[in-house]
Structure 1
Amino acid sequence: MKHNLSPFKLSQVSFAVLANILPLGVMAAESGVHAEQVEVIEVRGIRASTEKSLNTKRFADGVVDSITAEDIGKLPDVTIADSLQRVPGIQIRRSAGEGATINVRGMPQVTTLLNGEQFLSAGSISEVQPDFTDIPSSLVGAMNVMKSPTADTLAGGISGTVDLVTRKPFDLEDGFSGAALIEASTGSYSEETDPKLMVSGGYNGDRFAVLATVSYDEANLANYRLGSINDGWAYAPFENHEGVDCWYCPKQDMNGDGDSDDAEFTYVNYGIMNRFTERERLGATVSFQAQLSDNWTLSSDVFYTNMDDADRQKGITADNAWGGHWHWQDQHDPIDRGQLDNGHNLYTAQDITLNAPRVISHSESHTNERESTNFNLELEYKGDGNFSGKARFITAEASRSHTENVAQGYLTSGIAHGLRRNDGTGPTAANPGGYGPDPIPMRLNFNGKHPTLTGPEQLQGEVFGSNIDRYAIVSTYSENNYDEDANLDILRLDGEYQFELGHLEKMSFGIRASQRDVTRDEYVLLAPFSNPVGEGSVNVMWKDQGLAAFDTDGNGEVSVKDGDITMGADNPLNFTGLPSGWVAKGSDFGPVNIGEYYFVDPRQLDDPFAFQNTLYPGNVRGGVPGSSYTVEERTQSVYWRADLSNDFYRANVGFQYIKTELDILQNKVGESICTNCPGSVASDGGDIVTDRSFNDFLPSINVSFNLREDLILRTSWGKTMTRLDLESLAGGLSISRARAGDDLAASEGISPDLLIATNATMQGNPELDPWRADNTDVTLEWYFSPSGLLSAAVFNIDLESFIESAQWQIAAEDGDGVVRRNVTVNGQLNGTGGTMEGAELSYQQAFDFLPGFWSGFGAALNYTYSESESGKTGFGGEALPLEDNSKKSGNAVLWYEQDGLQFRIAANYRSKRLHTISTPGGMGNVGIWTEPTTYIDMSASYDVNDFLTVYMSGSNLTEEYESQYAQWENNRMAQNIYERRFTFGVRGRW
């Protein structure tokens, strides 16, 4: 692909060296120049940081909320998202209990900047919003949340923009200074003690300054999943009557009432899962500033993050073996939900006996290696006249390697769902020592505080799950693995001219060019199996003790003859025969007790190649072309802004014009390259190259009226846009084909064995347009004291379009490469728009007007109401909101600061929100909702002296959990459990 931005590119190491050493040489040539003396305001303590944040908000050019370093350091906030949740209108989504991503005013289409410019994060290479779990919060000095657009702010957020501001060397005290901390954290379910170290040191001289910060921490986070394992694997099987062809409909009276007009809501599988997330984070910043002359300042920054993590889970699952066993529930006290469109009466239940044909000891590991480096070189000119300007060059790179590896140990024999193997003496159970042949009754109960799933206490004279001889690995696979790489280059020039023309204060203008290249390569692991029905071997992804593809007996039963599977362990793979250290007994399922079971240690799955090769040697990477792509995105933009003011008002008006060019390389999905694997694991069937461009003109206006010295009315309006996830643009085209048959062959003159195109799936649509919206905001702010604010705001976000699932026709090739017909393709299109509107209320104050002890208290309260419409309707015809938006959210913070003692307790509330939209077979759209949550955190510290502070914090003090239900509030389907965590530390400064 083309690379038009620059004819050459420095390596990252070379640039880092030059960016931080070159200024020294320039400085030496300017030895007679002295830097302008700038007053440094030191912010320490809760009250001082509150006043600084309010000062930033009061004099901002638009609607802005700010958090200073003191807020980040003193709240029990591990990640930046955890701190941002205190801001009015911000809702967060959690990963293993830690804040990961955010919504602003109910929408996730939020862009994040680093010191005012685009930021490339390894956790979300193809998206505009980073995964904040990547970024150590100690690297950031402040965060500004901009809810109204201004012409000079880089466009990219529909509902808002977050600017992460790092500390600058010239803000340090004169001479040498530094800070360090050491802390230990632990959780209520995890048994690990997790360390964190941070060291920061800098020097501020007359003409130059340097600052370096390094942060390292480890985290072992317990979180559990109870109930349905997947949000979307649901069906509404109904009693099949004559003439109805329904593959998931049982052909018997399900509830024994003598009729055939009933249906039941069920998921494919349920389980109780132990999940632990292990993270190792390293972050570093190096910043340099030099006052080259009275007019010129040179700055350079390096921002580096590296995180390795592993999400490991093990648990007991019960499922219906994916079809043929849809009536597997005995519902106790069923609830009548009315009629489906087909006339059947739908029932749900919260206490169910699952007659499970398959019970699995499931182990799984997902790993990530993430690394990103962002460099900034900046030259600023402030002349004696009216003109000032700035030139910036930014280069960044990021990479992420992701793996997923699964081992399924059966407790059941496999006979109940027809899974058999053959050792040469005839078909037998895939797991001969397992329970069976009948399905196993597993009791699933949602009626208590937490869901439970328990097996029969006694089965064949033993406690269920206690006999290791019953277990064997029947299925194992590694899928959804991928490597991602991205590069970003930016050149930006900004200018400003001061005026003395009545109301006109200044004009700002600038140009910008950027290029982002993203490559994604997805793969699975394939192992060679000898072919029982032909010569040579075949590649297999789902390595199973009974391979459904091999029907060598011709009787419909699965048979794998002795020697047909190449493996390095005993056949079958009994737990007792696995390598030492692979298997352990486990009973940790968080707040529920369902007994002890044996599991393959998920740590053994961290290296997919090593694990799979131990069982099935010779694994190779098999491509997934539909999820692999390359995108080059180039933008050129220009902006103009005018600032006007007098004693009564301040205003800025302007526009930003952006031209975006995309080179998108998608892959057609060719023929399958393996046996017993999804059709997406295929050869690369050729490239689909799309070159397109589009333009955006984004005007904006912000006006604030000084109604009184302490009362400000703000109004703003602007157009916003945000780019799409690149996977939505660049995922590949998969065409399904079937044998032509005699009739079609005769009519079209083709071979009856020719594979003809029948339908298609487009994982990415390169013709999708960005999200675009009109934003309106009116805010009234009363600053009744230096640390006091009472404000109210109303806002409206009018979306021009909404991305939705759709169908359309395309010309598709048959198996011989000839296009003979159009077929229906399923994918995404720009559909009807949606809206988000609401109001925000905020209050904060230090109670320093009270006497004595009481003067140390302060409080902050905020509440947000956001009503949204997505344009979609649910199962009952109800209008569905935008996903993940809570209509009501709020924060309450009470703090105390006096005589070196600081204490803060904070509560964060979210009302119910639409988690996702599921489409169960036979029902249409069903909303999966998350129930309301309230998280309570606290922190306390004591300044031993001016240089030493001891502190502690606690997050999720009440062990809040997130329960989910499908469509009806009394139809709970899953629960995510997070732990309480405590941190103890010592912070020093010099």
Structure 2
Amino acid sequence: MNKFANKRAANTAGLAFPLSPVAAGCTVFLMALAGSAFAQEQQTAPAAPPATTDTTNNTPNSALPPAEDATVSTTTTPVSTVRVTGIRRGIEAAISIKKNSTSIVEAISAEDIGKLPDQSVADSIARLPGVSAQRGRTSGKASDISVRGLAPSFNGTLLNGREMASTGNARSPEFDLFPAELMGSVVIYKTPDASVIGQGLAATIDLRTVQPLDFGKRTVAVSYKKSQLGVKQRDGLPEGDGKRYTLSYIDQFANRTIGVAMGFTRYEEMGGGQSKFNSWGVADTVRVPGSDVPVAVKVPNGFGYDTEQNSHERDGAFASLQYRPNKNFKSTVDIFYSAGETGLKKTGFEAGVAGNGNGFYERVHELTNATISNGVATSGTLINWKGVVRNHYEGAKDDLKTVGWNNELRFGDWTTMADLTWSKATKLGSRYETTAGTLPGQQDTLSYTGFNGANVTEVKYTPGLNYADRNVISLTDTMGWSSSLANGISPQAGYLGQPYVEDEVKAIRLNAKKNVEWGPVIATTYGFNFTARDKERTGQDGRLMIIGGDPNGSAQVPGSAVAPAGASGFNVVSWDPRGALGTVYELAPKVDADILNKWWDVKERISTAYVMGDLDGEMFGLSYRGNVGVQAIHTDQTGGGYQVDSGNCVGNTPSGCPGVRVTDGDKYWDVLPSLNLSFDLKNDQLLRFGLAKVVSRANLDDLRAGQNVTLSNQQGVSVLTSSGGNPLLKPFRAKAFDLSYEKYFGNKGYVSAALFYKKLDTYILRTARDYDFASTISPETTLPEGGSTIGRFTQPQNGSGGNIKGYELAVNLPFSMLTPYLDGFGVLVNHSDTKSSVELPRDGFANVTGSAISIPLPGLSRKVSNLRLYYEKNGFQVAAAARKRSNFLGQVSDYQDNTQLTFIKGETIVDLQASYEIQSGWLKGTSLFVQAQNMNNEPFLEYTDDENNPTNRVDYGRTYHFGASYKF
């Protein structure tokens, strides 16, 4: 090992590979282990060999799903077997994966063919220790996954060990794209090893489909599910429904040398009506009639009420073809396909209260008939006021295609592998925004009651006009939001945005493993991976104008439907704007600095060379196994985009606001050593130790080039400002230490306690800095008073880090271990507590409001707990589960498809499920089941400073599923 270390040092002396503390620690630790092992080599028999590893997806072969109905026999005495099914089968398979891994991992496994423990992949893995899920603001379904307090973008997500393309700004695809029925298991690597490609700083999540030759016989499974969504919401809004079909087929041919597995699922859902409220906070002043000076009194600042209904359709399919003519050769082709369409219909009402809504056609509001108490206007009436009826539709069509071909050949002491990957994802969005209200020049009144100075979610508003009357309310440019004194009248009766994302990933991986006898090193692995990624975001934006109308043009709202505006207590006109382009509206293409700043492309070429040694030996009287290795990663990245000088823009048309395409990039190395050790403490007890250097690459949109320069007013002072990406960004980098104690009870249960610590060497901050725009502006650019070209540029930058630390406790036990009277009962419970010293400057996140000057680490909930109680016997299955997380800074997508940060109040989600499988007769293999999600009807709450005064509330209601499945 010393020779190898010296040779590596000589070969890399000119490549600026500094010896990190982690690398030094791994080397010293391995030398100590080697010395101990060599000293005992002749006296001590080696420990039992560890589970072999499938180099395709780093899966311990002994942890693969057990062969279906496989039997064990000898030539002398028949051996009876116990067939474990359902919940306990999934638990035992997951425990086997965790127990036999040389890294610290968490796992879930399908309870049966096409049956993960929950409705979605995200729901299932959110029940694992140290893992939490954020519900989507629109759908209410678990979507984004945080591991150990780090945002979802810190995870690496793989499919059968391979990186994939994505349709969002993050590198990994959304979990909604993976129907749970198509997954065989999911493994979360909390500590990496050198052979895992596409690692994340928080964790690496490997989604695994079934492999046909791991099963003992042909298996066919079909299921049908009917759903009710949005049941028993607080505002009595209409319920939704859905249906889901699944087919799985697994078979083997030619004396089990050929295996085929296929799965298909389709689901359609129309969600229940959701009531949403958004507050603009509290204003400290308001105008009154006869005075040009605002009066110091607290009033609501503004509000938005919406009733939303979402729809989802998705087709998912996978296929796996395996060929294994002998024990020395195996070839596997995996294909995964997911295509879907999502839609969100919004019907709502919004308006300013204090001041105005910044509309060109809106006058300054004045408060009359006010009741004032302790500086708070608890009620009153606004005059010179205008409100806007919103009928919006936000939808997207996406697809993900991934193909992998793996070939493994064994000869002598060598096992070689070649793996090819192609993955492509596309997404076309469609965002219709339409406005209706009074014509320009027409005003209304607004009365409100019940305000105490803080309770913005409880104020009662009453407009003077009937906004459900089509004779009063028209489709029109109600506010004049696109008009200004500078640009004149620019009619905008609505808006259409159609962003398009395309991402393609190609990769080749070569791997060779050799069995050796080098003291504690029993095998060495050498590998190389090359990944080419090309991603771009383009699109079309434009103002919707009434056909044939002048700037004050209007049209009658189509149809006759009305709908409640959220929980406002009043109805508004309702219609679906899809198909209105060319019949009601014409499009005026729009281009400005903000729009061009969203058009970008990124190219990455990443080469990874790695070497790893498998360890097996004895130290201090304790047997151990594990691995030690290093990855050397070279990155070549290029970001493209547009540089826009608002001084060159005359209006907001493509010809009136030209952008200059720019590109930039960087090349750099990362060296990532890692060490994993698992000590056998006897009696099925393990002490695991992990030490590694890890990285997470920036979100792809952060690597874009370009910027938009404009003259802004900041705290009463005019200054040049700009925002953009940074093609020179380096990754998040950290050193990680993990320690875990695990006590197993065979494969039936375990208890564990873990400690973890991550020292963040670098962190990517979005922050504003002083910047000289002299080289990027034109002579036509309006400069601030004094003519200074020095302004503020907000972009992601590499900064110094901090630390994250915490502990995890887990218990997974069948109660039959306590007494046979409780046979069939069991419990899974875990709790994690995570702290971080990282705080980010608030000024880099304009969408995060509040009084504090810094914000916490996105995705971090201090406390996360999970509980699942179950009973399974004689075909009956009953389970109750709850997951709880404390307050956190979450990620949401705004109406312009931008990722925004928002404070989300902690929540507890309760789910129930029950099923019965017929055990005998001609219906054997048939199961009937019922499931309930969000049984406690937990709302989704966002807040600014005070969690007890939320500024945005979403009520999803309960979701019920009823269905049947049949397996033969």
Same fold (TM over 0.5): yes
Matches within 5 A, 1:885-924: 885-915=860-890
Which one-letter code corresponds to 1:856 in the other structure?
G
Matched, 1:63 2:65: no
Which of 632, 645, 665 is residue 691 of structure 1 equivalent to?
A: 665
Which of 777, 786, 799 is residue 831 of structure 1 equivalent to?
A: 799
Matched, 1:117 2:153: no
Matches within 5 A, 1:555-634: 567=548, 572-573=553-554, 577-579=556-558, 581=559, 583-587=560-564, 589=566, 592=567, 594-599=569-574, 601=575, 604-606=576-578, 610-617=579-586, 619-620=588-589, 622=591, 624-634=595-605
Matches within 5 A, 1:390-409: 390-409=417-436
Which of 463, 468, 471 is residue 470 of structure 2 equivalent to?
A: 468
Matched, 1:200 2:248: yes
Which of 711, 714, 739 is residue 685 of structure 2 equivalent to?
A: 711
Say which SS state the counterpart of residue 561 (structure 2) adopts.
strand
Which of 130, 133, 147 is residue 104 of structure 1 equivalent to?
A: 147
Say which SS state the counterpart of residue 835 (structure 2) adopts.
strand
Name the counterpart of 1:358: 386
Conservation of the 8 A alpha-carbon contact between 1:404 and 1:479: yes
Name the counterpart of 1:808: 770
Change (3 A) 1:573 1:291: same
Change (3 A) 1:944 1:368: same
Name the counterpart of 1:497: 514
Name the counterpart of 1:641: 612
Which one-letter code corresponds to 2:563 in the other structure?
G
Conservation of the 8 A alpha-carbon contact between 2:264 and 2:317: yes
Name the counterpart of 1:534: none
Conservation of the 8 A alpha-carbon contact between 1:643 and 1:651: yes
Quote the offset at 1:690 in angstroms: 1.0
Quote the offset at 1:646 in angstroms: 2.4
Name the counterpart of 1:295: 328
Say which SS state the counterpart of residue 469 (structure 1) adopts.
coil
* C-alpha distance in structure 2 between counterparts of 1:304 and 1:98, whole Å: 21
Change (3 A) 1:632 1:915: closer
Change (3 A) 1:349 1:917: farther
Matched, 1:213 2:213: no
* C-alpha distance in structure 1 between counterparts of 2:418 and 2:634, whole Å: 20
* C-alpha distance in structure 2 between counterparts of 1:962 and 1:46, whole Å: 30
The CA RMSD over aligned residues, in Å, is: 3.5
Name the counterpart of 1:743: none
Q: Percent of aligned pairs with the same residue?
A: 24
* C-alpha distance in structure 1 between counterparts of 2:565 and 2:473, whole Å: 19
Runs of 5+ consecutive residues of structure 1 not aligned to the other structure: 1-36, 241-248, 256-263, 336-346, 415-419, 421-428, 526-540, 544-564, 739-756, 919-925
Which of 219, 222, 227 is residue 272 of structure 2 equivalent to?
A: 222
Change (3 A) 1:445 1:98: farther
* C-alpha distance in structure 2 between counterparts of 1:329 and 1:776, whole Å: 63
Change (3 A) 1:567 1:628: same
* C-alpha distance in structure 1 between counterparts of 2:378 and 2:408, whole Å: 65
Conservation of the 8 A alpha-carbon contact between 1:806 and 1:829: no
Name the counterpart of 1:966: 944
Say which SS state the counterpart of residue 82 (structure 1) adopts.
helix
Name the counterpart of 2:58: none
Say which SS state the counterpart of residue 586 (structure 2) adopts.
coil
The superposition leaves residues 104-157 of structure 1 with CA deviations (integer Å, 9 ceiling, x where unpaired) of 0111211100111102233x2x42232111221111110001111111111431
State which drifts further: 159-168 or 42-51. Answer: 42-51
Say which SS state the counterpart of residue 733 (structure 1) adopts.
strand
Say which SS state the counterpart of residue 92 (structure 2) adopts.
helix
* C-alpha distance in structure 2 between counterparts of 1:907 and 1:450, whole Å: 30
Name the counterpart of 1:741: none
Quote the offset at 1:237 in angstroms: 5.5
* C-alpha distance in structure 2 between counterparts of 1:181 and 1:626, whole Å: 46
Say which SS state the counterpart of residue 708 (structure 1) adopts.
coil
Matches within 5 A, 1:234-245: none
* C-alpha distance in structure 2 between counterparts of 1:67 and 1:334, whole Å: 57
Change (3 A) 1:208 1:276: same
Change (3 A) 1:235 1:150: farther
Name the counterpart of 1:258: none
* C-alpha distance in structure 2 between counterparts of 1:817 and 1:769, whole Å: 35
State which drifts further: 700-709 or 825-834. Answer: 825-834
Conservation of the 8 A alpha-carbon contact between 1:701 and 1:718: yes
Conservation of the 8 A alpha-carbon contact between 1:642 and 1:653: yes
Runs of 5+ consecutive residues of structure 2 not aligned to the other structure: 1-63, 70-83, 232-236, 478-492, 713-717, 843-849, 894-899
Which one-letter code corresponds to 2:390 in the other structure?
H
Quote the offset at 1:73 in angstroms: 5.9
Quote the offset at 1:291 in angstroms: 1.2
The superposition leaves residues 912-949 of structure 1 with CA deviations (integer Å, 9 ceiling, x where unpaired) of 2234799xxxxxxx995322211000111101134211
Conservation of the 8 A alpha-carbon contact between 1:638 and 1:656: yes
Quote the offset at 1:308 in angstroms: 0.6
Name the counterpart of 2:6: none
Matches within 5 A, 1:128-147: 128-147=171-190
Name the counterpart of 1:742: none
State which drifts further: 474-483 or 618-627. Answer: 618-627
Conservation of the 8 A alpha-carbon contact between 2:109 and 2:116: no
Quote the offset at 1:169 in angstroms: 1.3
Name the counterpart of 2:461: 455
Change (3 A) 1:685 1:329: farther
Conservation of the 8 A alpha-carbon contact between 2:647 and 2:778: no
Change (3 A) 1:879 1:829: closer
The superposition leaves residues 168-195 of structure 1 with CA deviations (integer Å, 9 ceiling, x where unpaired) of 1112333x32111111111215534311
Conservation of the 8 A alpha-carbon contact between 1:68 and 1:141: yes
* C-alpha distance in structure 2 between counterparts of 1:353 and 1:681, whole Å: 45
Say which SS state the counterpart of residue 968 (structure 1) adopts.
coil
Instruction: Give the aligned length.
Output: 820
Change (3 A) 1:493 1:133: same
Which one-letter code corresponds to 2:209 in the other structure?
T
Name the counterpart of 1:931: 905
Matched, 1:89 2:141: no
* C-alpha distance in structure 2 between counterparts of 1:963 and 1:71, whole Å: 36
The superposition leaves residues 730-788 of structure 1 with CA deviations (integer Å, 9 ceiling, x where unpaired) of 153112369xxxxxxxxxxxxxxxxxx97242321112221111111111111145322
Conservation of the 8 A alpha-carbon contact between 1:914 and 1:929: yes
TM-score, scaled relative to structure 2: 0.78
Which of 644, 651, 663 is residue 669 of structure 1 equivalent to?
A: 644
Quote the offset at 1:280 in angstroms: 0.3
Matched, 1:307 2:335: no
Matched, 1:950 2:928: yes
Quote the offset at 1:957 in angstroms: 0.6
* C-alpha distance in structure 1 between counterparts of 2:890 and 2:939, whole Å: 15
Conservation of the 8 A alpha-carbon contact between 1:773 and 1:798: yes
Matches within 5 A, 1:374-385: 374-383=402-411, 385=412
Say which SS state the counterpart of residue 158 (structure 1) adopts.
coil
Conservation of the 8 A alpha-carbon contact between 2:647 and 2:780: no
Say which SS state the counterpart of residue 789 (structure 1) adopts.
strand
Conservation of the 8 A alpha-carbon contact between 1:179 and 1:199: yes
TM-score, scaled relative to structure 1: 0.77
Conservation of the 8 A alpha-carbon contact between 2:557 and 2:573: no
Quote the offset at 1:849 in angstroms: 3.5
Change (3 A) 1:723 1:334: farther
Conservation of the 8 A alpha-carbon contact between 1:77 and 1:83: yes
Which one-letter code corresponds to 2:358 in the other structure?
W
The superposition leaves residues 675-718 of structure 1 with CA deviations (integer Å, 9 ceiling, x where unpaired) of 875x9996442221213111111111111211223211111111
Change (3 A) 1:328 1:60: farther
State which drifts further: 638-647 or 966-975. Answer: 966-975
Conservation of the 8 A alpha-carbon contact between 2:277 and 2:954: no
Quote the offset at 1:51 in angstroms: 1.5
